Amino acid sequence: MTQPSTSQHDRDLAAAFDGQAARFEKAPVQTDPAALARLVREAELPPNSLVLDAGCGPGLVSQAFLEAGHRVVGVDLSDEMIARAEARCARFGDRARFERQSLYDPPPGGPFDATISRYVLHHVADPALFLSRQVELIRPGGVVVLSDHVTDPDPSFTEIHNAIERLRDRTHTRNLSTGAIVDLFASSGLGSIRASEEAFTLDFDEWFDRGTPAAPKAEVRRHVLGSPARGFRAVEGADGRVTIHCWRAIVRGVKPGGR
């Protein structure tokens, strides 16, 4: 198993997700079968594609693509996440492979027909580098699919949203708007770019409790209820529970040069 040479941010990320793994694996936003099915559907991959799951976590996305008939290589910085992915996908035999390593280490296989990442972009230090590395690892005509929780196109509202996210989880870097992700795809040389959005909700308590907070829960709750950002607006119910109304995007692009 390859041991990556990582930055301090990556080491912090690995430690945080080792600790979050049990809650993360059961989170409704992660396990939603309709959302996973939509991700597979939007990818529109040829049968038996070789897929790199970049930041595979506990293997939920990998499992969805394996069940759709593809082959998957998953990489993640967290030992605990890789162990859970291996256990979850053991029934697929040699069609599934998982490695504890950085995306920037020598790839375990490839070139790939596609790369997939879900809820990873807002953890990376350099989004452009993260995407360009995936473009390097796919064949000409290959596909990059990225799904993430998106934010407001207004920079001032974006900063409010991102400040709250970092208070709730120290490993967060920044959420981008759907338009900014599309621009990132274009800047990385991808073509035939398309994007779709769907609404989803988070329960504040569940969301906060599986994070790695930098501030007390009550403080984060107060900030959440004051957020004006598109994709991060909260409503307090009569029972005191807070629901956050969000948007996530699925963006797909194709590497030029294929037949």
pLDDT at 259: 64
Within-domain flag for 139: yes
Q: Can you give the CATH number for the domain in which 143 is found?
A: 3.40.50.150
Residue 58 half-sphere exposure, CB side, CA atoms within 13 Å?
16
Single-letter code of the amino acid located at 11: R
Q: What are phi and psi of 41, to 5 degrees?
A: -65, -45
Is pLDDT at 2 greater than 60 in this prediction?
A: no
- Tell me whether residue 160 is in a domain: no
Rounded to whole angstroms, the Cα distance separating 172 from 133 reads: 20
Instruction: Give the domain range for residue 184.
Output: 8-150+174-198+249-254
What pTM does this model have?
A: 0.94
Distances (CA, A) of 97 to 6, 112, 146, 155: 21, 13, 20, 40
Is there a domain that residue 54 lies in?
A: yes
Ramachandran angles phi, psi of 54, nearest 5°: -85, 110
For residue 169, the 8-state DSSP code is -
pLDDT tier for residue 109 given thresholds of 50, 70 and 90: confident
**Count of the separate structural domains present in the chain:** 1
User: pLDDT tens across 6-34, in order?
Assistant: 689 889 889 989 998 999 999 999 999 99
**Average of per-residue pLDDT across 67-92:** 97
